[in-house]
């Protein structure tokens, strides 16, 4: 099994990094032979979309050397995603949605012919069979009890864009209330507990003997 860990907070005190690390550690214990790839988006130069992006939907034979060079980051990030069975994404909430490095990564990996295809019945995701776990951190709370779900453009967007690429099996674990004093630690502890259980459940069961 191959796990791709994606971090998108640049803060050294990042909560989402603690959560992706907790997942990775527990996953390693459950899958000692598994392969782990770590992609830290805060340390990855992420290109902006320019005219050269049109090379991703044009004739491959006409891609220039400059366009190939421009697309090399996208090629690398897309290959990492294609190679993974499981993806764990650390997503801080900024202004009700995701951080810009995570959005920039999405712009690099939504690739025609690689992660999404268009057919007679519209778009079709090509990443079927992969699972994702998204761990988020938020200053406030967006659960129904606080009547704030309409402001949560983070889970809504990530579910939609991962589904667009064919990743339908997505589990969210939220560490909420991180700006609410003593509720913060309680929420982190609860999230880490959930993460540990989820990671342990990824352990591959031995094949049944005939």
Ligand X SMILES: Cc1cc2nc3c(=O)[nH]c(=O)nc-3n(C[C@H](O)[C@H](O)[C@H](O)COP(=O)(O)O)c2cc1C
- Whether 91 and 154 have beta carbons less than 8 Å apart is answered as yes
Q: Which is nearer to ligand X, 22 or 93 (CB)?
A: 93
Q: How far is the CB of 98 from ligand X (least distance, A)?
A: 10
- Whether 145 and 100 have beta carbons less than 8 Å apart is answered as no
Token digits for 73?
A: 């980051």
Q: Which is nearer to ligand X, 113 or 193 (CB)?
A: 193
First to last CA, the chain: 24
Residue 176 neighbours by CB distance under 10 Å: 23
Strands (E) located in the chain? 2-7, 35-40, 86-92, 116-119, 122-125, 131-137, 169-175
Report which DSSP code applies to 112.
B
Q: How far is the CB of 146 from ligand X (least distance, A)?
A: 10
In the complex, the residues that contact ligand X under the rule CB under 6 A are 9, 11, 14-17, 92-96, 137-140, 178-179
Q: How far apart are CA 95 and CA 153, in angstroms?
A: 9
Q: Which is nearer to ligand X, 101 or 125 (CB)?
A: 101
Q: Which is nearer to ligand X, 9 or 74 (CB)?
A: 9
Q: Which is nearer to ligand X, 44 or 203 (CB)?
A: 44
In this structure, are strands 122-125 and 169-175 parallel, antiparallel, or unpaired? Answer: unpaired
Q: How far is the CB of 86 from ligand X (least distance, A)?
A: 20
Q: Which residue is nearest to ligand X (CB)?
A: 92
């Amino acid at each position: 099994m191959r796990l791709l860990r994606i971090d998108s907070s640049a803060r050294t005190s990042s909560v989402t990094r603690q959560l992706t690390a907790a997942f990775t550690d527990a996953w390693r214990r459950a899958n000692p032979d598994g392969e782990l790839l770590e992609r830290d988006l805060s340390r990855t130069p992420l290109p902006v979309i320019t005219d050269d992006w049109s090379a991703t939907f044009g004739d491959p034979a006409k891609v220039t050397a400059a366009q190939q060079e421009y697309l090399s980051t996208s090629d690398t990030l897309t290959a990492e995603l294609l190679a993974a069975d499981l993806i764990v994404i650390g997503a801080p909430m900024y202004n009700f949605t995701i951080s810009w490095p995570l959005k920039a990564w999405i712009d690099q990996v939504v690739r025609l012919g690689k992660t999404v295809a268009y057919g007679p019945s519209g778009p079709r995701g090509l990443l079927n069979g992969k699972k994702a776990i998204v761990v988020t951190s938020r200053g406030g709370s967006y659960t129904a009890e606080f009547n704030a779900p309409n402001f949560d453009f983070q889970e809504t967007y990530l579910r939609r864009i991962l589904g667009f690429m064919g990743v339908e099996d997505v589990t969210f674990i939220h560490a909420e209330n991180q700006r609410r004093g003593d509720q913060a630690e309680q929420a982190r502890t609860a999230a880490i507990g959930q993460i540990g259980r989820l990671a342990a459940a990824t352990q591959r069961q031995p094949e049944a003997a005939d």
